[in-house]
């Protein structure tokens, strides 16, 4: 009975919560002029399967719109500087570079770097009950979106605890963050990637 009562109280507490206010809180957390770094565990479950692929690494987030994912095994890096996305695979000796349009950026599930007002214009925003923190569910209004839904789990201080999303095809990805720490702001070049000579560069392919 205590468990049921706790769940009901939690649901009541979030029923009147403002999802845009929660997103503004996490946006303010990152907009302090510093870099924010956390280790992560990523699981990817293809549509129609129950077995997930697990990867680990670290992520660096720097407002207003830069981030970098460094994966451990296999080694690979994804970086975004607010305009251009880069993906480097040392094993393949290849880097793909793509300049993202406004429509492309809208498809990125990185909702903690987007203005809540812009998100609300393109998506339905809801606050969900969660024992671990506050969860914001983001559902695109556009039926043709490549994203079915995004769920952002936030700590009381506004830092992301987890990020999960499902593609319109049914593939599901989940990130669990170990806890963000602040570091001095990175030079912009940290989000550009500079692979060694001999790396094949593929530009602006879908």
Q: What three-state secondary structure class fits 1?
A: coil
Pairing of strands 84-89, 76-80: antiparallel
Q: Provide the pLDDT for residue 16.
A: 54
Give dist(CA 206, CA 200) in Å, integer: 16
Average pLDDT over residues 25-45: 95
Least confident of 15-24, 88-97, 178-187: 15-24
Give dist(CA 129, CA 151) in Å, integer: 12
In a 10 Å sphere around its CB, with 0-12 CB exposed, 13-18 middle and 19+ buried, how is residue 17 labelled?
middle
Torsion angle, alpha carbons of 19, 20, 22, 23, to 10: 120
Residue 9 predicted with pLDDT over 90: no
For 139-179, what is each residue's pLDDT tens digit? 999 988 999 999 999 998 899 999 999 999 999 999 999 99
Number of domain units in the chain: 1
Q: Provide the pLDDT for residue 108.
A: 83
Q: Provide the pLDDT for residue 84.
A: 95
Average pLDDT over residues 25-49: 95
Q: Provide the pLDDT for residue 149.
A: 96
Which residue range forms the structural domain that includes residue 93?
A: 2-203
Share of the chain above pLDDT 70, in %: 91
Residue 13 predicted with pLDDT over 70: no
Query: What token pair was written down for 16?
Result: 């009147």
Give dist(CA 92, CA 18) in Å, integer: 45
Number of residues assigned to the chain: 206
Among 206, 172, 143, 178, smallest CA distance to 37 is for: 178
52: CATH: 2.50.20.10
User: Which of the four pLDDT bands, split at 50, 70 and 90, describes residue 61?
Assistant: very high
Q: Provide the pLDDT for residue 91.
A: 95
The number of C-alpha atoms within 13 Å of 55 and in the hemisphere containing its C-beta is 18
For 75-122, what is each residue's pLDDT tens digit? 999 999 999 999 999 999 999 999 998 888 878 888 888 888 888 899
Instruction: State the chain's mean pLDDT as an integer.
Output: 89
For residue 11, the surrounding DSSP H or E stretch is helix 2-15
């Amino acid at each position: 009975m205590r468990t049921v009562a706790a769940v009901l109280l939690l649901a009541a507490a979030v029923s009147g919560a403002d999802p845009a206010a929660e997103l503004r809180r996490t946006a303010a957390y990152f907009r302090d002029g510093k870099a924010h770094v956390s280790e992560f565990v990523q699981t990817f479950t293809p549509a129609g399967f129950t077995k997930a692929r697990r990867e680990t690494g670290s992520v660096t987030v720097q407002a207003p719109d830069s981030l970098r994912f460094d994966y451990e095994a296999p080694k690979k890096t994804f970086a975004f500087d607010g305009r251009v996305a880069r993906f480097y695979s040392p094993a393949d000796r290849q880097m793909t570079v793509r300049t993202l349009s406004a429509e492309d950026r809208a498809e990125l599930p990185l909702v903690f770097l987007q203005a809540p007002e812009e998100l609300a214009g393109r998506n339905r925003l809801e606050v969900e009950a969660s024992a671990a923190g506050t969860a914001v569910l983001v559902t695109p209004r556009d039926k043709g979106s490549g994203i079915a839904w995004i769920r952002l789990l936030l700590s009381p201080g506004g830092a992301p605890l987890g990020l999960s999303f499902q593609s319109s095809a049914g593939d599901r990805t989940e990130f669990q963050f170990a806890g963000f720490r602040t570091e001095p702001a990175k030079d912009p070049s940290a989000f550009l990637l500079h692979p060694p000579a001999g790396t094949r560069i593929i530009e602006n392919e879908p």
